[in-house]
Amino acid sequence: MASLWLLLAVLAGGQAQAAPTRPECIAPAKPGGGFDLTCKLAQRALLDGQVIDAPMRVTYMPGGIGAVAYNSVIAQRASDPNSVVAFSSGSLLNLALGKYGKYGVNDVRWVASIGTDYGMIAVRADSPYRSLKALMSALRATPERIVFGAGGTIGSQDWMKSALVARQAGIDYRKMRYVAFEGGGEAFTALLGGHVQVVSGDIGEAAAQIDAKRVRILAVLADQRLPGKFAAIPTAREQGYALSWPIIRGFYVGPKVSQADYDWWVSAFRKAAAAPGFAALRESRGLFPLSLDGAELDAFVKKSVSDYQRQAREFGLVR
């Protein structure tokens, strides 16, 4: 009898760890951009890491920087074992601001991160501001003459980066001049055209502009200098300003996905991240190391949302 129960347990364990029948990554935005990048990196990494035998489907569910997908998965696909949904720090900020409706950070299961990007502060290559300190001095002296541009409205993570710079300069962020654009590409176009003087965005999206020598990155918002072609760019911290803005990219599943299926996804991303060639694959997508999964990611996400809520209260975005 004991042997029979052992056999059943082994068989059940094998079934529990079976791959999803139709694995799918939902990018909660239109094609292109960070969510699409996140899903396609996972698509390639899981295939290259021999976790799955055929490419995972990538589908799109745009709306509200992840709000539509978040609500849809919880309400309609809560137990779906086949689907993971991409998220970013922008998603977590919107959760902190209450922009996902009645659902909060505890209403999904956080699976794994696949990498991180970092915020940055950029000016045009011929700008008179050659350091973050020079920009801060100009902001204090004549804040009305400096216009920030970014791909996000008031309250977005790019707006938050601009507001944090203004606060570090000692000026009222409400007096900061800010123009919202539809994505970082439009913001850089405005910068190159002289319509704004500063762009607050992500180092990954600035890579092409750096290669073309059209912009100067005054600071990367990371705790330490980044590797590779970004190694010469100073951090804000080393210039004396306590500014850091990591942008996590990862995945979650519905709240009622079984423990066995959740564990399969966690294990799948862990195996993909450990595979030879993953580091180069991640770097080719402009991302940097950040491998968190399971309980560790869950704790990170909840702390991040709490930190964003504190910052949002400081800027009067929530009560």
Q: What's the average model confidence in pLDDT over 36-56?
A: 93
- Of 217, 239, 261, the position where a domain reaches its end is 239
Residue 256's CATH number: 3.40.190.150
CA neighbor of 14 nearest in space, from 264, 258, 254: 264
Measure CA of the first residue to CA of the last residue in the chain; give whole Å.
61
Mean pLDDT (the chain, rounded): 89
Instruction: Report yes or no on 11 lying in a domain.
Output: no
Q: What is the model's pLDDT at position 265? A: 97
Residue 204's CATH number: 3.40.190.10
pLDDT, tens digit, 9 for 90 and up, residues 157-208: 889 999 999 999 999 988 899 998 867 788 889 999 999 999 998 887 787 7
Instruction: Report yes or no on 112 lying in a domain.
Output: yes
Q: What is the model's pLDDT at position 211? A: 84
Q: What is the model's pLDDT at position 17? A: 59
Q: Which domain holds residue 306?
A: 22-116+246-314
Same domain, 111 and 123: no
Instruction: Report yes or no on 12 lying in a domain.
Output: no
pLDDT, tens digit, 9 for 90 and up, residues 98-151: 989 999 999 999 999 999 999 999 999 999 999 999 999 999 999 999 999 988
Percent with pLDDT over 70 in the chain: 94
Same domain, 111 and 250: yes
Instruction: Report yes or no on 256 lying in a domain.
Output: yes
Same domain, 234 and 250: no
Instruction: Report yes or no on 231 lying in a domain.
Output: yes
Residue 37 has pLDDT above 90, yes or no: no
